[in-house]
Structure 1
Amino acid sequence: MNGVLQKLGLDSKMALGLFGVLIFMMGDGLEQGWLSSYLMDHGLTVQESALLFSVYGFAVAIAAWLSGVLAEILGPRKAMIIGLALFVIGTLAFLTVGIKGMNLAIMIPTYSLRGLGYPLFAYSFLVWITYYAPSDKLGTAVGWFWFAFTGGLNVLGAYYSSFALPILGEIHTLWSALIFVALGATIAILLNKEDASQKNNNKKFETKAEALKYLTKGITIAFEIPKVGLGGLVRTINTAGAYGFVVFMPTYMMDAGFTRTEWLQIYGALWTTNIVFNLIFGIVGDKLGWRNTVMWFGGVGCAFFTLAFYYVPAFMGANYLAATIAAAGFGACLAGYVPLSALVPSLAPENKGAAMSILSLGAGLSTFVGPAIVGVFIGSLGAVGVIWIYTALYIVSAFLMKFVTLPKSGKVTQSKDLNNIKQAASN
């Protein structure tokens, strides 16, 4: 088994932790493809639904930002336990108090509390990977992380819902999330034991004031190393479109003639392709360069397939195969941004956790920005206007990547840079 894992760029510890992340994220993401349409069927407007998801996204962004520095201060395992606790408490509050009365004033804070949980759990594990993985395999390692992350959040969750909803109904399906979250956390936290090498990676602080000062590093590093800030901005754009789609695309696709089950399967196909290409582009990034992979496959590719995702149903109606191909193309190109998780922390080898906080903040902000664009513009510009805004943002992200380069990238190979970075990080 170890021989097979080594060929895949993993070892048993990393594989076990990633499997736990996969199961946890399945529980977190099982409602993504249908909750918005369910809420609108029960009285909310599209703008109110967008507001709910936008505030939820803001909570995700805060937790995502904290994940990197908390993982350094407390250690990844403790940060993951905090994330688990917040998710469970938030889910209980949302289901027992929030959604029960369909009162938006109660739903927003309870659903947002739930949103604080998964970034602390998942992104803290990603920080561990950036220290644990060999430097010349870091792109592959983060590719496996995003394989597990999106495989659970967007693929297994969507496909599970397509089968569970007709049997359990919406509310009981939401309750079942706690089963997957508990199982995934048990595997990733309890079974994946921390060893001495992991403990040595945690930063040592003499006083609480020193630890709090490092917490601010998760913001100031974006200004100290502007390339890190640009990387965070590109990461925000990365999945903004994907999180915006879940607010208005279910209604758009069903108006085009698709059933809810067909939409969930198309949505699942988008993320199934994404997890496969997370691995492919992790390896491609190690070979062809992280920046070029993000620029061309990520930015330019997502711009093209964002338009295709909308215009294929507009011109071809409920053509299941054509819509699935367009969605799959978008999912594949989303994975073109995977090398950011190797590139950005490598720009700050002595403060990888702080650099990852900026990247995680961008990931969290995308869950806010994507739905917020829908809420602000869909009333005046319609769905087509929102699609073109996302397209323009992807083009902007490709342009920004021209400036996000490793030090001395023109003089030495990426492999040599990585060896120097790894050596500096271990000193």
Structure 2
Amino acid sequence: MNKGLLGKLGMDSKMAMGFIGILLFMMGDGLEQGWLSSYLIDNGLTIQQSALLFSVYGFAVAIAAWFSGVLAEVLGPRKTMTIGVVLFVIGTVIFLTVGLKTMNLAVMIPTYSLRGLGYPLFAYSFLVWLTYYAPAEKLGTAVGWFWVSFAAGLNVLGAYYSSFVLPYLGEMKTLWSALIFVALGAILAILLNKDDGSNRKTFETKAEMIKYLSKGITIAFERPKVGLGGIVRTINTAGAYGLVVFLPAYMIEIGFTRTEWLQIYGALWTSNVIFNIIWGVVGDKLGWRNTVMWFGGVGCAITIMTLYYIPKFMGPNYLATIIVAICFGACVAAFVPLSALIPSLAPENRGAAMSILNLGAGLSTFVGPAIVGLFIGSVGTVGILWIYSGLYLLSAFIMRFVTLPKKEENINNLSDVQAV
């Protein structure tokens, strides 16, 4: 890795185009995230139907995320990322031309899900590429930069872009504009990224290749701590992704406008972006596990509840709500060191280990909305948030058991193995 400024930051010139490409692609993928559910409900769907759409979409994301790691090693990162782009474009075009125009769930669910297959193959394959490329002592920082790019595009720039252009372009043209960002991101990350990906695995026979594909499943049982890490990763963003299904309606009911909500949502993820790199550095210095356990699990359990109680008791107080959103976004970012910890538990099968972690990331987009669909009718907004809070506390408890061998602790300066 280069020793210049970018190298010191954990991101050198060879991979820089890839990070920018991830940011642009995810901006295109996520520009509708903060408002599509409310738009669908306003145009005839129930909140349960909207939750179903996002849940099935999340399941498709989970499947693609699960196999992205091993596919990146079998086919190579560039080929896997290209497949992701193609699936995303096809799904988007059919969803917009047929699905949204008819508001027919039978069309919307499969086409939006096809779109959902695309971004994990693109983004998480690049993450596997990165875990092979970055040196061990900078791995936490490097994956922190990945999540900065990922979250900045998906949740920050996409949300702010929508808040500015929706009044002028309208919903459909805004959705079509996503393809511009996806195309630019693909060019930068696939064509202009300089590393050749030569660190990936090579296979002598097809049988050996197929056997390794199964590692994306069996690694969780062969290395139970990897499986536990996948559970924690699922909880990590389940609450954050579930919020977009029901919280916009709650905020608007309290008295916020849609633009204000999108800016609050953007502030949440702006904080997340900033703290992605901060927690990556902190994790490298103070310990990956403790960072996830205390700042991630316990921190999220507390701060997610403020998103309900602060507006509840203070009304549509824009500044106060933005502050608590920033706090929650910072705590969500504290799970970043998982992307360094989990592949380090299986150094000879990093791609397979990352597949489990990526599965967790994908499942979070399924579990979060699914919880809303199952329980919103019985427990309401505050009940859903308490469920999420309980899950975050569970993730903190699980992290007690996700430890590295003493040898790896010494190499990575992990002081957290015997802590707690």
Q: TM-score, normalized by length of structure 1?
A: 0.95
1:165 is matched with 166
Separation (CA, whole Å) in 2 of partners of 1:117 and 1:413: 38
Change (3 A) 1:243 1:416: closer
What does 1:374-413 correspond to in 2, within 5 Å?
Answer: 374-408=372-406, 413=410
Separation (CA, whole Å) in 2 of partners of 1:188 and 1:162: 26
Separation (CA, whole Å) in 1 of partners of 2:3 and 2:148: 19
- Alignment-mate amino acid for residue 237 of structure 2: T
What does 1:5-84 correspond to in 2, within 5 Å?
Answer: 5-84=6-85
Q: CA deviation at 1:41?
A: 0.1
Q: CA deviation at 1:212?
A: 1.5
Separation (CA, whole Å) in 2 of partners of 1:128 and 1:412: 23
Separation (CA, whole Å) in 2 of partners of 1:284 and 1:215: 34
Separation (CA, whole Å) in 1 of partners of 2:133 and 2:388: 35
The alignment partner of 1:351 has SS state of helix
What does 1:284-363 correspond to in 2, within 5 Å?
Answer: 284-363=282-361
The alignment partner of 1:406 has SS state of coil
1:97 is matched with 98
Unmatched segments (≥5 aa) in structure 2: 415-420
Separation (CA, whole Å) in 1 of partners of 2:16 and 2:201: 25
Conserved? CA contact 1:74–1:202, under 8 Å: no
Separation (CA, whole Å) in 1 of partners of 2:303 and 2:15: 33
2:412 is matched with 415
Q: CA deviation at 1:202?
A: 2.2
1:420 is matched with none
Is 2:112 the counterpart of 1:111? yes
Q: CA deviation at 1:8?
A: 1.5
- Alignment-mate amino acid for residue 285 of structure 1: G
| Paired positions, count | 414
Q: CA deviation at 1:137?
A: 0.3
Task: Say which of 205, 220, 223 aligns to 1:222.
Answer: 220
Unmatched segments (≥5 aa) in structure 1: 418-427
1:365 is matched with 363
> Alpha carbon RMSD of aligned pairs, Å?
1.4
The alignment partner of 2:334 has SS state of helix
Conserved? CA contact 1:298–1:334, under 8 Å: yes
Conserved? CA contact 2:81–2:122, under 8 Å: yes
- Alignment-mate amino acid for residue 392 of structure 1: G
Separation (CA, whole Å) in 2 of partners of 1:408 and 1:11: 30
Q: CA deviation at 1:97?
A: 1.0
1:424 is matched with none
Separation (CA, whole Å) in 2 of partners of 1:412 and 1:79: 33
Q: TM-score, normalized by length of structure 2?
A: 0.97
Conserved? CA contact 1:289–1:414, under 8 Å: no
Separation (CA, whole Å) in 1 of partners of 2:308 and 2:183: 37
Q: Identity over aligned residues, as a percent?
A: 76
Separation (CA, whole Å) in 1 of partners of 2:390 and 2:235: 10
Separation (CA, whole Å) in 1 of partners of 2:208 and 2:132: 22
- Alignment-mate amino acid for residue 20 of structure 1: G
Separation (CA, whole Å) in 2 of partners of 1:327 and 1:416: 32
- Superposed CA deviations along residues 313-337 of structure 1, whole A, max 9, x for unmatched, are 1111100011101111000000100
2:418 is matched with none
Conserved? CA contact 2:234–2:361, under 8 Å: yes
- Superposed CA deviations along residues 288-328 of structure 1, whole A, max 9, x for unmatched, are 00000000000000001111111111111100011101111
Conserved? CA contact 1:269–1:328, under 8 Å: yes
What does 1:196-235 correspond to in 2, within 5 Å?
Answer: 198-199=197-198, 201-235=199-233
The alignment partner of 2:277 has SS state of helix
Q: CA deviation at 1:150?
A: 0.1
